């Protein structure tokens, strides 16, 4: 029998449109011979069947109409940011016994905070830039921040798609950059600048083993890999990356280690910058984009797979098949 899959997307955050595009793409790629697909959109706090006003019954996350009652075998989480990427939805699904794709509540909550993730990975000697965490209710020390050196990156601690991220080149730009980042989050990370090419590496579980995808080299036309570079074709993405075999192996081994240390599940993307042959960790994306413009689909195709095959592996892992 076909499985009923609810693709949960949307949300009331800055990345809403990215989530919708990703959900649309995976719905096209999923094998219709195996799955009945229902795109469930979160909008203004309500879950509805996309394109209708039919509400999801939150008692058991099912779809009830006057003539039918549809229950789901699995939720495929394709919602960036809150409340999926931070673990909130995972907690709810745990309570009602609904299987879902991707990382569990704990891993999602930890990795959604860039600084918390770095704090954990430091114990495993993962290279990373020095950084300082600011909170909205605490005064920050300008001299301490500038001691990291210029330029600096200022970014929301818990946000994606480069919303609210600034590259600060002078002391005079710092305050404005911090204020802008606080518009997207109540915590802000100020991070030392690293000069080098940026790389992104996808990873997932295939038949209980960790499979690392080809690496993508990112060449942004802008100051850094910002929203326009990611989603408006203002970057060049080369897959597989132009790296010698030893550095390719080094990057993939570090990606695998990060995935395992953090207890990740499903498909995840790890971003890094290479400086003098060392890969410095930037962030981990536990619900990476899956639109046509996204990096993971490029890596999947370079691996000789189809996106449909990847989705099967993610679904089978979640269902313990």
- The domains of the chain are located at 3-100, 110-126+195-318, 131-192
pLDDT in tens, 153-179: 999 998 754 678 999 999 999 999 999
Question: What pLDDT, on a 0 to 100 scale, did the predictor assign at position 223?
Answer: 63
CATH architecture for the domain at 3-100:
3-Layer(aba) Sandwich (3.40)
The CATH code of domain 110-126+195-318 reads 3.30.470.20
pLDDT in tens, 109-150: 999 999 999 999 999 999 999 999 999 888 999 999 999 999
HEC string for the chain: CCEEEEEEEECCCCCHHHHHHHHHHHHHHCCCCCEEEEEEEEECCEEEECCCCCEEECCCCEEECCCCEECCCEEEECCCCCCCCCCHHHHHHHHHCCCECCCCHHHHHHHHCHHHHHHHHHCCCCCECCEEEEECCCCCCHHHHHCCCCCEEEEECCCCCCCCCEEECCHHHHHHHHHHHHCCCCEEEEEECCCCCEEEEEEEEECCEEEEEEEEEEEECCCCCCHHHHHCCCEEEECCCCCCHHHHHHHHHHHHHHHHHCCCCCCEEEEEEEECCEEEEEEEECCCCCCCCCHHHHHHHHCCCCHHHHHHHHHHHHCCC
Determine the topology of domain 131-192 in CATH.
Dna Ligase; domain 1 (3.30.1490)
- pTM value is 0.90
Residue 214 CA to residue 82 CA, distance in Å, equals: 29
Give per-10-residue mean pLDDT for the chain (321 aa).
97 91 97 98 96 96 92 97 95 98 97 93 96 91 95 86 83 95 92 94 95 94 53 77 98 98 98 97 95 93 97 97 62
Question: What pLDDT, on a 0 to 100 scale, did the predictor assign at position 194?
Answer: 93
């Amino acid at each position: 029998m076909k499985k009923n899959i609810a693709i949960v997307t949307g949300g009331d955050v800055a990345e809403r449109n990215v989530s919708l595009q990703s959900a649309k793409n995976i719905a096209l790629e999923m094998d219709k011979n195996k799955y009945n697909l229902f795109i469930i959109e979160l909008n203004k706090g309500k879950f509805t069947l996309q394109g209708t006003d039919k509400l999801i019954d939150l008692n058991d996350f099912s779809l009830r109409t006057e003539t039918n009652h549809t229950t789901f075998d699995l939720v495929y989480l394709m919602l960036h940011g809150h409340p999926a990427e931070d673990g909130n939805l995972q907690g709810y699904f745990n309570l009602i016994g609904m299987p879902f794709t991707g990382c569990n509540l704990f891993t999602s909550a930890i990795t959604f905070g860039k600084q918390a993730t770095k704090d954990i990975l430091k114990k495993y000697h993962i290279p990373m830039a020095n950084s300082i965490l600011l909170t909205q209710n605490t005064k920050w020390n300008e001299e301490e921040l500038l001691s990291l050196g210029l330029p600096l990156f200022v970014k929301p601690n818990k946000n994606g798609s480069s919303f609210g991220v600034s590259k600060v080149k002078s002391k005079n730009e710092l305050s404005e950059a911090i204020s802008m980042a606080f518009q997207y989050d109540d915590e802000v990370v100020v991070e030392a600048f690293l000069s080098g090419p940026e790389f992104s590496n996808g990873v997932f579980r295939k038949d209980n083993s960790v499979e690392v995808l080809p690496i993508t080299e990112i060449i942004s036309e802008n100051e850094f890999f910002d929203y326009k570079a990611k989603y408006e074709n203002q970057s060049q993405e080369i897959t597989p990356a132009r790296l010698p075999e030893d550095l390719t192996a080094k990057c993939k081994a570090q990606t695998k280690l990060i995935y395992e240390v953090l207890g990740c599940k499903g498909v995840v993307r790890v971003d890094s910058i290479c400086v003098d042959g060392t890969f410095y960790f930037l962030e981990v994306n536990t619900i990476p984009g899956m639109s046509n413009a996204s990096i993971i689909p490029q890596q999947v195709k370079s691996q000789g797979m189809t996106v449909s095959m990847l989705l099967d592996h993610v679904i089978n892992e979640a269902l313990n098949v």
